[in-house]
Amino acid sequence: MNRSHYFWSFILLVALLCTLNWFLYNYQVYRNHYWSYTQNSSFQEDIAKFYPTSNKDVFVYRRRPETENVNCGQVLAGDTAYLKTVTGEYRIKIAENESLNMSCEAVMDRILSRDHVLRPLENGVAFARVVYMDYELIEKHVEMSYHPQNSFCFAIDKKAAKEFKERMQAMASCLPNVLLLPDDLSVDSHGHNTNLAHYNCLRALINKPGWNYAILLQNHDLITKSVYELEKIFNWLGGANDVAIRPELGRLDKKHFKWDPMSLKLFRNESEIDPVILNTTLKFAKGAVQSSLSRAAVDWMTRTVDLTTFIDQWNHGTYGVDEQFTQAFQISDFLGMPGHFTDKCIKKGIITEGITRFAQWTHGDQSKCASKKSRHGICIMGIEHLSMMAKSEHLMFNKVLPLFDYSIIECTAELLFNRTFLGQIHHPLNEEYYSNMINVLYHKHHHEPNYTFNCDNDH
Ligand SMILES: *[C@@H]1O[C@H](CO)[C@@H](O)[C@H](O)[C@H]1NC(C)=O
Ligand SMILES: *[C@@H]1O[C@H](CO)[C@@H](O)[C@H](O)[C@H]1NC(C)=O
Ligand SMILES: *[C@@H]1O[C@H](CO)[C@@H](O)[C@H](O)[C@H]1NC(C)=O
Ligand SMILES: *[C@@H]1O[C@H](CO)[C@@H](O)[C@H](O)[C@H]1NC(C)=O
Ligand SMILES: *[C@@H]1O[C@H](CO)[C@@H](O)[C@H](O)[C@H]1NC(C)=O
Ligand SMILES: *[C@@H]1O[C@H](CO)[C@@H](O)[C@H](O)[C@H]1NC(C)=O
Ligand SMILES: *[C@@H]1O[C@H](CO)[C@@H](O)[C@H](O)[C@H]1NC(C)=O
């Protein structure tokens, strides 16, 4: 009697689980189906017909009042006469909202409207960003790259305004995939503590599942590819890191510090490491703070090695001390960081820029910038850059300032919205380009016995 009772309970339980599973499966199929359905423009027209007032807005990017009348499509099409009406004295800057509603409901609605469905990603992206100002831009960054599988880590500069910190805390407390580090580091424009802030973010992000590349960013870097485009591009990179490599000119402090893995207390467990490696001075280059690192590289940086002594030694320098961090590990191939590159090209004077950051240098002449505005020798991006940006292979623009030109931010956000939710494709990604970058080819082939590596192959 008792046994048959257990038996039937068991059968009932199995039946229940099967039914539940069936529902979950169908729900997933439905979500995916619904998503591809919404990408069909005739679906969008149908919606517009059946819901003439309310749901039509689902397919329109929501603008701020000050940029409501900017015609991003016309700028994108290269209409130079129109461009004159939104540049120069007519350039539109942000009108900051002093009374922004920071309730969770309001924040979430701004970041991802409930009407929008995002299909699952094969692999997400982690964003590690050092921030100190312009909360509404920071929230826009999250909106533009939002996906439940993506993770966002923010390290706030200790000197940031109280209101900025409070808003950041409010956003982070609403969204499980937004991480906020304690604001105990003071970051400056010479790069002090920037690497440490990013490293702390990487240490937090490695515990989050769902992403296979991490991007290191600063406050005003604008990501210019949609979440689905990033997924594709990082897939083509296939595990290679993307780090700009230029010559480092004499800032390495060899007088006070040693730079071999043993002196740097680099490997957490030295017992397996070849003593020759432990005693080999690292190779150095300068690039940008902004880099894209594979998950395996981040895992190595946070769990196999400990970079705090390395970071601390650079922090003692005077200026530009944050542009050698990922570079050193990327080209010190003997360390074996996953996805690394080599110093063979930079030794020949050949620079590899990569795709992570686009920056236009003024070389001392601000009037060379399309926007006629620069900061620290780099052009500030204006609406003039939109159509170039839409075609660029780069993942990010450095940099945009909302109090200089907000149209470029709004129009980029609209462009990514259109690509994400309306399935618009003006500039199909060039797979050939990404999968033939020199760091990608090196990563794919350097273990092959007869591989001959040619630095001149880069684009
Ligand atoms: C888009 O939807 C229309 C009407 O519902 C249908 O005839 C057409 O085949 C669909 N196209 C695609 C690519 O799904
Ligand atoms: C986005 O799509 C809408 C609707 O098709 C269009 O009017 C607008 O110009 C597009 N914006 C951009 C930046 O491509
Ligand atoms: C400012 O934010 C409030 C609350 O989120 C909103 O109601 C209002 O429309 C915003 N004002 C502007 C000018 O965007
Ligand atoms: C903020 O937004 C929420 C949700 O939309 C709303 O319930 C609340 O009344 C708003 N608060 C203020 C002060 O407007
Ligand atoms: C260090 O690595 C060796 C060899 O793999 C291992 O036996 C040892 O337990 C490790 N030590 C620690 C502290 O993990
Ligand atoms: C490390 O290398 C230096 C020179 O390259 C050499 O003088 C020194 O003896 C080596 N130290 C160890 C512990 O192998
Ligand atoms: C590598 O080169 C050697 C000598 O030229 C040749 O014998 C060998 O077959 C090559 N190996 C591969 C994998 O191509």
Probe ligand 5: pick from 269, 303, 305, max atoms within 8 Å of CB? Answer: 269
Q: Which of 97, 100, 101 to mutate to test the pocket of ligand 4 (most atoms within 8 A of CB)?
A: 101
For the CA of 109, the nearest atom of ligand 4? 5
**Beta-carbon count within 10 A of 167 CB:** 18
The CB of 449 under 6 Å from ligand 7? The reply is yes
The amino acid occupying position 55 is N
Q: What is the dihedral of CA 369, 372, 373, 374, to 10 degrees?
A: 30
- Top pLDDT among 380 and 376 is at 380
Q: How many angstroms separate the alpha carbon of residue 239 from the centre of ligand 7?
A: 26
Candidate from 98, 101, 110 with most ligand 3 atoms within 8 A of CB, to mutate:
101
What residue type is assigned to position 398 of the chain? N
Ligand nearest to the CA of 447: 7
Cβ-contact 230, 150 below 8 angstroms: no
Residue 364's pLDDT is 84
Spell out a b/e string for 203-212, using b for 16 or more CB atoms within 10 Å of the CB, else e. Answer: bbbbebebbb
pLDDT tens digits, residue range 286-310?
A: 999 999 999 999 999 999 999 999 9
Alpha-carbon gap, residue 11 to 415, rounded angstroms: 53
- Tell me the average pLDDT across 49-58: 54
Q: What are the residues facing 124 on neighbouring strands? A: 211
Mean pLDDT of 430-439: 97
How many percent of the chain have pLDDT more than 70? 92
Cα–Cα distance, 48 to 59 (Å, whole number): 9
259 CA to middle of ligand 6, Å?
Answer: 13
Atom of ligand 4 at shortest range from CA of 105: 4
Binding site membership of 272 for ligand 5 (Cβ less than 6 Å): yes
- Cβ of 269 closer than 6 Å to ligand 5, yes or no, is yes
> Tokens 């990327």, residue?
330
Give the pTM: 0.86
Q: Whose CA is nearest to atom 4 of ligand 1?
A: 42
Residue 52 clears pLDDT 50, i.e. is over it:
no
Q: Shortest CA distance to 329 belongs to which of 317, 341, 319?
A: 341
Please report, for residues 13, 59, 164, 327, 411, the alpha-carbon distance to residue 72 in angstroms, rounded to integers and kept in the order given: 56, 15, 29, 37, 5
CA distance 20 to 298: 37
pLDDT value at residue 39 = 59
pLDDT at position 337 over 80: yes
Ligand 7: does its nearest atom lie under 6 Å from the Cβ of 450?
A: yes
- The confidence band for 37, taking pLDDT boundaries of 50, 70 and 90, is low
Reported confidence tier of residue 341, pLDDT bands at 50, 70, 90: very high
Of 79, 407, 414, 426, the residue with max ligand 2 atoms within 8 A of its CB, to mutate for a pocket test, comes to 414
Name which of 60-74, 149-163, 444-458 the model is least confident about: 444-458
Residues in contact with 182: Cβ distance below 8 Å, sequence separation at least 6, in sequence order:
none
pLDDT, residue 203, reads: 98
pLDDT score recorded for residue 36: 61
How is the chain split into domains, by residue range?
Answer: 2-38
Weakest-pLDDT range from 46-60, 66-80, 209-223 = 46-60
**Contact call for residues 196 and 325 (beta carbons, < 8 A):** no
Protein residues whose CB sits closer than 6 Å to any atom of ligand 2:
72-73, 76, 411, 414-415, 418, 422
Report how far Cα 212 is from the mean position of its chain's Cα atoms: 12
Q: What pLDDT is stored for residue 342 in this prediction? A: 97
The answer to which of 89-98, 146-155, 286-295, 444-453 has the lowest mean pLDDT is 444-453
Helix 104-111 × helix 162-174 angle, to 10°: 80
CA 272 – ligand 5 centroid, Å: 8
Per mean pLDDT, which range of 28-42, 248-262, 414-428 is the poorest?
A: 28-42
- SS3 of the chain: CHHHHHHHHHHHHHHHHHHHHHHHHHHHHHHHHHHHHHCCHHHHHHHHHHCCCCHHHHHCCCCCHHHCCCCHHHHHCCCHHHHHHHCHHHCCCCCCCCCCCCCHHHHHHHHCCCCCCCCCCCCEEEEEEEECCCHHHHHHHHHHCCCCCCEEEEEEECCCCHHHHHHHHHHHHHCCCEEEEEEEECCCCCCCCHHHHHHHHHHHHCCCCCEEEEEEEECCEEECCCHHHHHHHHHHHCCCCECCEECCCCCCCCCCCCCCCCCCCCECCHHHCCHHHHCCCCCCCECCCCCEEEHHHHHHHHHHECCHHHHHHHHCCCCCCCCCHHHHHHHCHHHCCCCCCCCHHHHCCCCECCCCCECCECCCCHHHCCCCCEECCEECCCHHHHHHHHHCCCCEEECCCCCCCCHHHHHHHHHHHHHHHCCCCCCCCCHHHHHCCHHHHHHHHCCCCCCCCCHHHCC
Instruction: Taking residues 57-80, report their average pLDDT.
Output: 93
Q: Count Cβ atoms below 10 Å from residue 19 Cβ, excluding itself.
A: 10
Distance of CA 449 from the midpoint of ligand 7 (Å):
7
pLDDT at site 454: 86
Q: Name the closest ligand to CA 450.
A: 7
Is residue 365 left, alpha or beta, with left meaning phi > 0 and alpha meaning psi from -120 to 50? beta
| Residue 358 reports pLDDT greater than 80 | yes
Q: Please identify which residue in the block is written with the tokens 């000119």.
A: 249
Which pLDDT tens digit goes with each residue over 254-274?
A: 999 999 999 999 999 999 999
Q: Burial-class residue 194 by CB neighbours within 10 Å (0-12, 13-18, 19+).
A: buried
pLDDT of 70 reads 98
- Own/partner long-range contacts of 11-20 (Cβ < 8 Å, ≥24 apart): none
Q: Ligand 6 center to residue 192 CA distance, Å?
A: 31
- pLDDT at residue 48 above 60? no
- Asked if residue 459 has pLDDT above 70, the reply is no
What letter represents residue 82's amino acid?
A: Y
Is residue 42 lining ligand 1, measured as CB closer than 6 Å? yes
**Which sign, positive or negative, has the C-alpha torsion 330, 334, 336, 338?**
positive
Write out pLDDT tens, residues 143-193.
Answer: 999 999 999 999 999 999 999 999 999 999 999 999 999 988 999 999 999
Ligand 7 within 6 A of 349 CB? no
- The protein residue with its alpha carbon nearest to ligand 3, atom 8, reads 100
pLDDT of residue 53: 46
- Which atom of ligand 2 is least distant from the CA of 426? 14
Ligand 4 pocket check: which of 102, 103, 109 to mutate, most ligand atoms within 8 Å of Cβ?
103
The number of the ligand nearest the C-alpha atom of 276 reads: 6
